[in-house]
Structures are given as C-alpha cells and as structure tokens.
Amino acid sequence: LWEKFAVPENDDKESFQSSFVRHVTSTLARSVYNIDNFSAYQATAHTVRDRLIKRWNDTQQAHAEVGPKRVYYLSLEFLLGRSLDNALLNLGLKESYGEGVEDLGFRMEDVLDQEVDAALGNGGLGRLAACYMDSLATLDYPAWGYGLRYTYGIFQQRLNDGFQVEFPDYWLNFDNPWELPRLDVVIDIYFGGSVSKYTDNNGRVRAIWEGGEPIQAVAYDVPIPGYGTKNCINIRLWSSKPKRKFDLKHFNEGQYEKAVQAQMEAENITAVLYPNDNHMVGKELRLKQQYFWVAASLADIVRRFKKSEKPISDFPKQVAIQLNDTHPTLAIVELQRILVDVEGLEWDDAWDIVTDTFAFTNHTILPEAMEKWPVPVLTYLLPRHMQIIFDINLFFLQSVEKKYPDDRDLLARLSIIEESSPQFVRMAHLAIVGSHRVNGVAELHSNLIKTTIFKDFVKFFGQEKFQNKTNGITPRRWLHQANPKLSDLITEKLGNKDWLKDLFKLKQLEKYVDDPDFKKRWVAVKGSNKARLADYIKKQTGISVNSNALFDIQVKRIHEYKRQFMNILSVIHRYNLLKKMTPKQRKETVPRVVIFGGKAAPGYYIAKLVIKLINSVADVVNKDLSIEDTLKVVFIPDYNVSVAEIIVPASDISQHISTAGTEASGTSNMKFVLNGGLILGTVDGANIEIHEEIGDENIFMFGNLADKVEDLRHAHRYRNKQMDPALKAVLDDIESGHFGDPRIFVPLINTLTIGKDYYLLSDDFGSYLRAQDMVDEAYKDKDEWAKKSILCTARMGKFSSDRAIKEYAESIWNVEPIPVEEVR
Ligand code: 26V
C-alpha cells in the first residue's frame, strides 16, 4: 500500500512546475496570478526541500540498516550562506528547474537573490565547517554536524561616515525552508543545582548531580546534500526554550516580570552568535551556550548509540567526535560524567572510552584567543563538571609526575588549571588531555603548535598524537557555483565534470596553457566576472571602477594580525607616487582597483579605525581627477558568504599578508587561486603550501619568515629611527590631515610606535612595496599573466576539502563511506 502512494522523484521541468504551483497555492496561500520574486524563491525552495527530505530519510534509513561508525562534527559555527543554488547544483536540478522558473516568467538570478544568508559563523572556522559538511556528504560518510540555531547570526555591517555600524541579523524573519523543526526531539538541560554522594550496592562512593530548573533544547535539522550522490547528511542545530511557560507563584502574585524572567533567560541562550573572531571574551552566557549545546548533542549521540544495543565499551568503535576548536571541550567532561555517574563505569574504563572518542582541532595560536573559564563560574553553573575537571587534572598530573618526577615547572605548565586568583580552566589543555588526536590546519601551523603553545604536551604524549590536516574548500560552491562560466569552460575542455569530485583532475588544464584560443576564453571569463563585481560595487557604493584595471582584493575579518592597515598604507604610498608622476608616466602605470571587505568585532576599536581609514583614503583618492583613474579604493560593506561568491571569481590579485606565523591557514587564499587569481602574500599558513603546489612564477611572496618574528619583536625597529622612510612618509601624510581629521587615527598610528608594532609592519613594509612593484610589472604582460592564472587553477587539486576530509576519516576517525541507494 505504501508503495502505491509513494511520490516518484521526477527531475523534469513539468514536475517542478506542478510542485511550484502547489507550493504557491498551498504552502504560501497565494494566488498564482500575483507572485513576486520572493514568493517564487519560496515556492522553488519548498520544491527542493521536498526532495531533500526524501534523500535525508533514505540516508538515515540506509545508515540505520548498516549501523556504521558515525562521525560527529561539533562546531559552534556553521557559516552556510545560501542554500538554494547549492542544492540545485548538488542535486543536478539546476538546468530543469532553471528552465521551469524562467518559463514561469522569472529570472533565476533574481529568484536566487531573494535568499538571506545563513550566517551562523564569524569567518574561517565557521566556513570551514560548512565546506567540510559538503565534503562529508559528497564522499558518502555517515556524518552529523551539531551546532546552535542562533536567532541572530553575525551582525550586518553598514557604514556611517566611513565608520562601521552594526545591525542585528534577524535571519528568521520569514520562514526558513532549509530547516526541519523536530519539535519531538527535545532534551532537558540543567545548570546549577547540587552534587550529593551516595554509596552504591558494591560499596563504592558515587556522585549524583541534580541540576536546577531545566531548559529545553529543541532540534532543528538542516539537510546537507552531497554532490552527485544520494547521500544527504544532517546538521542538527539546537534552539533553547523554557520548559515552563511562566512561574505560577509570581504570576498569581501579580509579579508578571518576575513570572517570565527565568523563561526569557532560557530563550536568551541561543539568541545570538558571539561576533568575536580570534578573541576570547569571558562572558557567562557564552559558557552557557557551550554547555547547553554540548550536553544536548551528547545526549542525542548516546541515545542513538544505545539503540544499537552494543556494549558501552564499543562506544568509540561506533562514534568519533571532532571538536572544532576548544568551544565544545566540555563535551569531554560531559561524556565522562555520563559514563561514570549515569552508566556506573569505573573512572579508568570511562576515561579510555572518552579519549578514544574525541579528537581536537586547533585553529589559532594567538594568545588572546585561548579559551579559559574562571573556576568559580564553572563551580556554580556546573558543580559536578568542575569536580570531574579537577579529577581529570589530578590523574593527568600524577601520570606526568610519574614520568618526570620533581619537575614542578612542567606540572604547572601542563596543568589544566591556571593557578591564578581566581583559578582558571585552560580549555585547550583539557581538550588535548581528553582527545586521542590533536591537529593544526596547515603544515606551518601544525609545526608551530608543536614547538610553541603545545610543546610540553608533545614531550609528554609523544609526536604521534599531534597531526597536520591542511584545510580545504569545496570546489562545488567555490568554483562550480560561484564561477559558472569558468566551470563550464573547464568541463568543456576536460570532457566531463569528474573534476568536481576529484580536483586533481584540473592538472589536465596544463596542456592548454599555450593554446591561444583557450587563453583568450579564460581571460574573457575573468573579464566578465570582473564586470559583474564592478556592477555590484556600483550598486552598493556608488563608485565606478574600470574593469580593465588590476583588481586587487583583500576580504576577510578585520584584525591587526591580518594587516589591512599595511595594505591601506601602501595604497597611500601608491597614491602619492601617482600624484608626482607626469601624465606620460601615469599612462605607463598599471591602473588598480584596491578592494577591501570584512567585519570588525564590535568591541575591537583599532580594527574599526582601520575601516574608517580605508574609507577616508577612498574618499580622497576616488575624487582626485588628477590621477586619471589609475587608482580606485573600495570598501565593500557587509562582506559575507554570498558577497564572497561575487568577489572571489573576480580577482587578479588577492592579498593574504598576515605577520608570518599568525594566520593558522587561511582558506580564502585557496578560493581565489582556484578561480585563477594570483596571491600577494606572506610566508604564512596555507600560502606556503599553495606556493609549493603552484610554483614560484605564479605567486608573489614577501616578508620576514616566522622563525624571525620573535627576534624582530625585540629589535624595536619601530622607534629607533630606522623606520622605513616610505612608511614614515605615509604616516606623516595621515598626520598632516590629508585624509581628514588626523586626531581620529592617533590610536591606530600609535600601534606602530608606543604599541611597539607587534605585527611588524615596519619590518615588512619595504619588501611589501617591492612585491607590489613585481605585481605591476608582471601584469603588463597579459599573455604571461593568463598563463599564470591557468596554472594556478590547474594546480589547486590538493586544496579540495574532499582531500582534507579523507585524511581526517582515515587517520583520525577511522570511518568508512556508506553508499546510499535509493529507498522507496
Ligand atoms: C575563537 C573565539 C574565541 C572565543 C570567543 C569567540 C571565538 C570565536 C571564534 C574563534 C575562532 C578563532 C579561530 C579561527 O577562526 N581561526 C581561523 O580558522 C580558519 C580555519 O581553520 C583558518 O583558516 C584561519 O587561518 C584561522 O584564523
């Protein structure tokens, strides 16, 4: 009987249109004679959603039948961006549905443009999680993501007089077709309360934690379809909700505010994504978010494991949990608590299960980003967990003491507890001790963590525990979707789309680097992408830019270590040179459009001044007719994933110029190069490995190396009269008031002087300018540049997130793909 009513999956245009109309009339309750682009988007999205749900169910059913080991990716951030175009492409429906939409009188581009980004992340870490989910789905791994369903994503950025202003990102204003509310999957989460001891039947003393008022975690599932497979995995996002609607006692006394206060606090837990990137702010609500998320996820994972009826000792054979940075580290403590207090295991048996289950990825070595929480706060929010942390630390330090007797300094350095007053819990230490593998995100970064912040842990645990997993990006979103023209050209040349599942196949493009016709078409695609970006810039900022100019782009979070300040200082230098030139000299220079984008954390004063300086420089330069359009400066507001999809395909040069040793990996560098843009960069993060792959001739590298940074910081070049004269001239220019009231920029300039130039702009400025000159020189030879551009794309195979995910699966998780056949 079921078979008889099953709806067949038809991919054709007519099936799409009939579903579209059904959704317009039934789901949206609108008349087909009166639909705008937004309704067309919603009806299309709901049609795709139906297909996703089918695949999601088939996938879960297939996995349940096999009972494989599953991998769980715990991330406080999933920066997914838009879903409709991605789902259409991954499901292979873009063409038929596209025709269907256009037939009904809409432009597909306008329809796609109605979608708001799911911006549940800050930057690199959150977007990496999204790329990894795409690869896990595409490679048929039985995987789940776990995160929080924030009511507000990363703030929207607007500019007011060149200053950043933040606006709330209320992304759930209209319905969200990309989530499936699971109102029946609800888990009670407790905070506070008390711990009591009792003696069990075997005469052992055990602890039991009874928390205070429960808060409900409600599941919302986000299906993630793989490309060219039926596999469709799940990201489960938790939303917080009060268990009781209001406090009856206060209500009956007429104290209405008090009656709903606890309830409002419960809803607040998942209200907002913290907008800090690479900077720890010790807010209690953030800690509550972390525990709420981790406790709900583990309860869900344990429940699913128990359905298998396997013995608890099999847990690590069925479950691998990856910790995306230290944010979910309390999961280690929560699992130990469940195993010891609830399941009644012995401490050591439980601890073996815990450490075999978890692995930890570190994403930064910046000291200010290291998470630590005050012991008194943990004690009152999570009393039993705090006891368990002390016990984990005790047993750990005992084992250290045994191996290295009488080294008290070593014990203090390794301790999970920082012995200050108050004491703090060092989350990275807890994550290392509770995991069987720890990894960095690029070769240099993985080596640096082993020799600096985690050095003592390497000495104690040995090298094998510490690995490298160089980051990757999904070529589906970052080439096929963002750059359809280049994707088509590549597919035509290679004869098929296999490269989208095996990015090393791009190597075959090398055959054509000297084929004039191919080069011409390659350059034409870049040109049309630059024209598209020029249109976008005009619409957003009113600035006209010449798309024949060299497009020089730096888009990423605004942070001192990323040195956008150095970039804009070099722009001032360029501007001053241009002004001094004769018209004839100016004619011979390469015109440039310097494009910036990125958000500053709302409390990061210096980063906000960098944005203001960029806009002040832009105001002066863009108005100056005397330089004859040889330079334009643009700050694109509200940089996010969907804006990146327009920007990335349009670069000639992109800048990745962090102080050596500070950028763990970077992933936008990979996106730009994959799209045939060259890099101007420092010897840092993944730039190094990109250089290795694409070769010297195709990248512009400059600056001091990581192993020099420590000494340079002590050399005080910033104030001993040796400051690069070009740099000094530029600072003088700002101070003269050339770019508006110079008093505004005093704190910013001070970072280079009394602030001791921690990020070494003074030391790198000279080689930066020389590298810039080499870029100009190289760009003059259009033919050579085209060749470089092609070789860049052709040699990027390594940086697919598919490669990264296979490495995680094979050498950390020990999980296998499960092909999903269609289940009717
Ligand atoms: C840290 C913190 C600290 C506590 C408060 C909130 C918060 C939010 C996010 C983070 C993560 C910072 C680390 C991070 O995003 N690292 C970036 O990770 C990318 C993916 O591995 C990598 O490419 C970038 O180089 C690295 O900066």
Q: Does the annotation count 363 as an active-site position?
A: yes
Q: Is the pLDDT of residue 824 over 50?
A: no
Identify the active-site residue in 556, 574, 612, 656. 556
Work out which ligand 1 atom sits closest to the CA atom of 441. 21
Give the Cα separation of 591 and 579 in Å (integer): 13
Rounded-to-10 torsion of CA 448, 450, 451, 457: 150
Give distance in angstroms: CA of 363 to centre of ligand 1: 6
**The model's pTM:** 0.98
Q: Is the pLDDT of residue 719 over 70?
A: no
3-state helix, strand, coil in the chain (%, to 5): 55, 15, 30
Give distance in angstroms: CA of 661 to centre of ligand 1: 14
> 471 in ligand 1 pocket by Cβ < 6 Å?
yes
> 280 in ligand 1 pocket by Cβ < 6 Å?
yes
Q: Are residues 623 and 763 in the same domain?
A: yes
Work out which ligand 1 atom sits closest to the CA atom of 274. 6
Looking at residue 587, the DSSP 8-state letter turns out to be: H
Within a domain: 125: yes
Share of the chain above pLDDT 70, in %: 99
Identify the active-site residue in 671, 787, 788, 795. 671
Give the Cα separation of 237 and 151 in Å (integer): 11
Give distance in angstroms: CA of 325 to centre of ligand 1: 8
Q: Select from 421, 444, 470 the last residue of a domain.
A: 470
Give the Cα separation of 506 and 486 in Å (integer): 12
Burial of 520 (0-12, 13-18, 19+ CB in 10 A): exposed
Burial of 346 (0-12, 13-18, 19+ CB in 10 A): exposed
Helix/strand/coil for 272: strand
Span 25-40, average pLDDT: 94
Give distance in angstroms: CA of 809 to centre of ligand 1: 22
Q: Are residues 576 and 464 in the same domain?
A: no
Q: Are residues 578 and 685 in the same domain?
A: yes
Ligand 1, atom 15, lies closest to the CA of 125
Q: Does the annotation count 63 as an active-site position?
A: no
Give the residue with greater pLDDT, 454 vs 253. 454
Identify the active-site residue in 450, 562, 592, 599. 562
Span 159-166, average pLDDT: 98
Q: Are residues 149 and 251 in the same domain?
A: yes
- If one residue of 73, 274, 363 were mutated to test the ligand 1 pocket, choosing by the most ligand atoms within 8 A of its CB, it would be 363
Question: C-alpha 608: how far from its chain's center?
Answer: 21
Q: Does the annotation count 559 as an active-site position?
A: no
**Which residues is 74 bridged to in the sheet?**
146, 323
List all residues 6 or more positions away from 661 whose beta carbon is below 8 Å from its beta carbon: 365, 444, 448, 684, 706, 709
Within a domain: 382: yes
Phi/psi at 329 (5° precision): -60, -30
Give distance in angstroms: CA of 446 to centre of ligand 1: 15
Within a domain: 13: no
- If one residue of 77, 78, 125, 805 were mutated to test the ligand 1 pocket, choosing by the most ligand atoms within 8 A of its CB, it would be 125
The single-letter code of the amino acid at 256 is Y
> What per-residue confidence (pLDDT) applies to 469?
99
Work out which ligand 1 atom sits closest to the CA atom of 663. 25
State the sign of the Cα–Cα–Cα–Cα dihedral 375, 209, 235, 185: negative
* Helix (H) or strand (E) run with residue 233 in it: strand 232-242
Integer CA distances (angstroms), 102 to 94, 99, 691, in order: 12, 5, 43
> 361 in ligand 1 pocket by Cβ < 6 Å?
no
Among 248-257, 445-454, 455-464, 776-785, the range scoring the smallest mean pLDDT is 248-257
* Helix (H) or strand (E) run with residue 749 in it: helix 746-750
Give distance in angstroms: CA of 364 to centre of ligand 1: 6
Work out which ligand 1 atom sits closest to the CA atom of 286. 5
Tell which residue, 364, 448, 447, has the closest CA to residue 665: 364
Averaged pLDDT of the chain = 96
Q: Are residues 559 and 446 in the same domain?
A: no
* Helix (H) or strand (E) run with residue 250 in it: helix 248-252
- If one residue of 127, 276, 278, 561 were mutated to test the ligand 1 pocket, choosing by the most ligand atoms within 8 A of its CB, it would be 278
Within a domain: 555: yes
> 369 in ligand 1 pocket by Cβ < 6 Å?
yes
Give distance in angstroms: CA of 741 to centre of ligand 1: 34
Residue that has been written with the tokens 């497009």 in this structure: 551
Q: Are residues 242 and 370 in the same domain?
A: yes
Q: Are residues 448 and 560 in the same domain?
A: no
Q: Are residues 449 and 551 in the same domain?
A: no
> What per-residue confidence (pLDDT) applies to 822?
64
Within a domain: 808: no
Q: Are residues 573 and 427 in the same domain?
A: no
Phi/psi at 180 (5° precision): -115, 105
Within a domain: 484: no
pLDDT tens profile 180-238: 999 999 999 999 999 999 999 889 999 999 999 899 999 999 999 999 999 999 999 99
> 446 in ligand 1 pocket by Cβ < 6 Å?
no
Cis peptide before 422 (omega within 30 of 0): yes
319-324 and 205-210 as β-strands: parallel, antiparallel, unpaired?
A: unpaired
- The parent domain of residue 601 ranges over 546-778
Work out which ligand 1 atom sits closest to the CA atom of 664. 25
Confidence band for 585, pLDDT divided at 50, 70 and 90? very high
- Tell me the residue ranges of DSSP E strands in 16-175: 70-74, 78-81, 118-120, 143-148, 156-160, 163-167
Within a domain: 96: no
Q: Is the pLDDT of residue 774 over 90?
A: yes
Cis peptide before 367 (omega within 30 of 0): no
What domain count does the chain have?
2
Give distance in angstroms: CA of 361 to centre of ligand 1: 11
List all residues 6 or more positions away from 85 whose beta carbon is below 8 Å from its beta carbon: 94, 112, 481
Share of the chain above pLDDT 90, in %: 92
Q: Are residues 441 and 561 in the same domain?
A: no
CATH of the domain at 701: 3.40.50.2000
Give distance in angstroms: CA of 276 to centre of ligand 1: 9
* Helix (H) or strand (E) run with residue 678 in it: strand 678-682
Work out which ligand 1 atom sits closest to the CA atom of 128. 20
Give the Cα separation of 773 and 762 in Å (integer): 18
> 441 in ligand 1 pocket by Cβ < 6 Å?
yes
- Residue 770, both tokens: 């020389």
pLDDT tens profile 589-634: 999 999 999 999 999 999 999 999 999 999 999 999 999 999 999 9
Q: Select from 778, 796, 819 the last residue of a domain.
A: 778
Phi/psi at 239 (5° precision): -120, 140
Give the Cα separation of 749 and 734 in Å (integer): 9
Largest CA distance in the chain: 94
Integer CA distances (angstroms), 299 to 118, 716, 740, in order: 26, 53, 57
> 130 in ligand 1 pocket by Cβ < 6 Å?
no
Within a domain: 319: yes
Give the Cα separation of 709 and 759 in Å (integer): 9
Residue that has been written with the tokens 């924030």 in this structure: 150
Give the Cα separation of 197 and 656 in Å (integer): 55
Q: Are residues 441 and 564 in the same domain?
A: no
Q: Is the pLDDT of residue 377 over 50?
A: yes
Rg for the chain (alpha carbons), in Å?
28
> 371 in ligand 1 pocket by Cβ < 6 Å?
yes
Q: Does the annotation count 671 as an active-site position?
A: yes
Looking at residue 343, the DSSP 8-state letter turns out to be: S
Work out which ligand 1 atom sits closest to the CA atom of 124. 19
Cβ-contact 273, 250 below 8 angstroms: no
Integer CA distances (angstroms), 341 to 92, 101, 199, 290, 335, in order: 49, 57, 12, 21, 10
Give distance in angstroms: CA of 24 to centre of ligand 1: 41
Among 61-70, 541-550, 710-719, the range scoring the smallest mean pLDDT is 710-719
Q: Does the annotation count 521 as an active-site position?
A: no
Identify the active-site residue in 357, 662, 667, 751. 667
Cβ-contact 343, 353 below 8 angstroms: no
Burial of 197 (0-12, 13-18, 19+ CB in 10 A): exposed
How many residues comprise the chain? 824
Confidence band for 244, pLDDT divided at 50, 70 and 90? confident
Give the Cα separation of 469 and 689 in Å (integer): 12
Give the Cα separation of 268 and 280 in Å (integer): 20
Give the Cα separation of 225 and 92 in Å (integer): 11
> 666 in ligand 1 pocket by Cβ < 6 Å?
yes
Give distance in angstroms: CA of 663 to centre of ligand 1: 10
> 661 in ligand 1 pocket by Cβ < 6 Å?
no
Tell which residue, 275, 294, 287, has the closest CA to residue 148: 294
Q: Select from 470, 504, 538 the last residue of a domain.
A: 470
Ligand 1, atom 9, lies closest to the CA of 277
Tell which residue, 478, 427, 470, 443, has the closest CA to residue 79: 478
Q: Does the annotation count 721 as an active-site position?
A: no
Q: Are residues 205 and 342 in the same domain?
A: yes
Give distance in angstroms: CA of 326 to centre of ligand 1: 10
Helix/strand/coil for 410: helix
Confidence band for 807, pLDDT divided at 50, 70 and 90? very high
Q: Is the pLDDT of residue 823 over 70?
A: no
